[in-house]
Amino acid sequence: MNIEFKKAILPADLADLCAMDKRIFGKYPGDLFTPEMWQEQEVYWMICDGKNIGCSSFLHHSDHDGTLQPGSLHIMTTGILPELQGRGFGEKQKTWQIEYARLHGFSRIITNTRQSNYRMIALNEKLGFKQILVVQDFYEEPAEPAIVMELQL
């Protein structure tokens, strides 16, 4: 199995990113990114044996709420196709995200996740992230608090 991470080409990859986003997060319509949102982020495909199986996106120097935070990498999305979840791909992607942050000189990683996303919360904790904040009414469709997690590098 060959896994690689490749920067998305925008705007050429927008349709594929939106389609992947819908496959992964479709049960949460309020979480789906618009084409404009994708273009504001640094986006990478997760590729396994030549096929796109997930994606990551980041905002550089951003805090959990989008405000300027020098040295902070905000992970906006960590997604793996549903049929491949639970097979270790999420941990490979999250480990790559941490390495990306280190290689690019960030001192902190911040990410938000739905309170009900126990698997992502557990994965983040396994890799050293700490819960630092609960933001009520963060997510819509359906409404749900966000757990804000941080990893100091």
116-139 residue pLDDT tens? 999 999 999 999 999 999 999 899
Q: Mean per-residue pLDDT for 91-107? A: 98
The confidence score (pLDDT) of residue 76 equals: 97
- Predicted confidence (pLDDT) at residue 19 exceeds the cutoff of 90: yes
Percent of the chain clearing pLDDT 90 (strictly above): 96
Taking alpha carbons only, the member of 88, 78, 9 closest to residue 48 is 88
Query: In this structure, what is the dihedral angle of CA atoms 144, 42, 37, 40, given to the nearest 10 degrees?
Result: 130
Mean pLDDT, the chain, whole residue set: 96
Range list of β-strands (E), 2-143: 3-7, 42-48, 51-62, 68-80, 108-114, 130-139
Q: Mean per-residue pLDDT for 74-98? A: 96
In whole angstroms, what is the distance from residue 95 CA to residue 93 CA? 5
Name all contacts of 61-65 with Cβ < 8 Å and 24+ positions apart: 62/110, 63/110, 64/110, 64/111, 64/112, 64/133, 64/135, 64/146, 64/148, 65/135
| Residue keyed to tokens 């941490």 | 98
The confidence score (pLDDT) of residue 47 equals: 98
The confidence score (pLDDT) of residue 141 equals: 87
Percent of the chain clearing pLDDT 70 (strictly above): 100
